[in-house]
Amino acid sequence: MELQNKQIAIIGGGPGGLTLAKLLQLQGAEVKVYERDLNKDARIQGSPLDLHEESGLAALKKAGLLDAFKASFMAGADKKLIMNPKAEVFFSDHEYKPEENFGDAHFRPEIDRGMLRKILLESLKAGTVIWDSRFVTMEKQDKGWSLTFGNGSVVYADLVIAADGANSKIRPYLTDIKPFYSGILMLEGNILNAAKNAPRINDLLKGGKIMAFGKGQNLLLGQKADGEIGFYASFKADEGWLNTNGIDYGNRDQLLTWFKEKYSEWAVVWEELFENTELPVIPRPIYCMPLDQSWQTMSNLTMLGDAAHVMPPFAGEGVNMAMLDALELSERLSSADYDSIYEAIEAYEANMRKRASAAAKESLDNGEMMHSEGSLEGILELFSGH
């Protein structure tokens, strides 16, 4: 596939977009990444990511960045404990799980989001990422697109790739299919200097992960870089719950009162999460794209990651799917098997939708099981073979 003399615009500088930019540059393509953040330090990155051998790690390997990853991942952060509301341990792999076992399909090393972004950014040519570029609109021009950004700049691209996440502003130019609400909502919190501020939780966590299951209610915790702990309170709720619950997410007393009532059968130790979290906590209703979605391929526009197939987080596939999208799209665009960019994109999208649908189905099923009356038994059965 001839990419020379083509101006490629990637909208969004997350893991998927940056991975694609790197892979395309290795093929000699002219690519720019337009990112809404003011600069690389504009905001705190979210929870750590666990990368999988066949997707996220495969993309990094193709990009020549696996050694950089190995030097920066959080050894031991993938170890997990499964608990009940009383903080009793029902499953632990701390005693036998190796800290480093690259090449094993079951090894899912964790890396801080900020560190992964740093690795990807530093691998790109200078000037690849155009910061402070909030997408506003685009219109067809010649065989490509004229894009307008909030900073007033207007640029031309022969090929536009949406990598701007679940609330993609590019996706509507390709399809009007929208995600549906999964019925699950999560409250996200973050504790700084957890050893000091939440010592009991910190001792429970042991530098890894905790998955605690009650009747339709979960607590999911994970070690982050710099001694931080990220956590989610996960439960079923109506889609309108955010507008009717009356909670001020920046009010610690209200949050703690809500937690004590909602998680009334849970041990006191868990209250330390809401007693010490940074404020405000972030409510995250969980959405998923229809499993049978389809759209008409275009020769100058496509998408990857959450922009294409947002899904619940209960299979750990979101970022891995995005990075695999980047790997497959870059390979299709550079392949001699296709006579046009249209054919390459068509093949990419067909395969991407198929595997994303399978991953989303697994995640939806896991989410239902994890928020059922028998969630603890279900998750223990799921991990019994590991």
Binding residues for NADPH: 43
Amino acid identity, residue 345? I
| Contact status, residue 321 vs residue 289, Cβ threshold 8 Å | no
Exposure string of 289-298, with b = 16+ CB inside 10 Å and e = fewer, is beeebeeebb
Q: Which of 48, 312, 371 is nearest to 190 (CA)?
A: 48
> Rounded to an integer, what distance in angstroms lies between the CA atom of residue 76 and that of residue 319?
20
Instruction: Label residues 159-192 b or e (16+ Cβ within 10 Å = b).
Output: bbbbbbbbebbbbebbeeeebeebbbbbbbbbbe
Q: Are 138 and 146 in contact (CB under 8 A)?
A: yes
Count the helix, strand and coil residues of the chain and give each as a percent rounded to the nearest 5.
35, 25, 40
Sign of the four-CA dihedral 336, 338, 342, 346: negative
- Tell me if the bond preceding 48 is cis, omega within 30° of 0: no
Query: Are the beta carbons of 273 and 231 closer than 8 angstroms?
Result: yes
Q: Please spell the DSSP secondary structure of 163-185, one letter per residue.
A: ---TT-SSGGGT-----EEEEEE
Q: Is the separation of the CB atoms in 157 and 298 below 8 Å?
A: no
Q: Which residues are documented as binding site? A: 43, 50, 113, 306
Binding residues for FAD: 50, 113, 306
Tell me if 95 sits within 8 A of 76, measured CB to CB: no
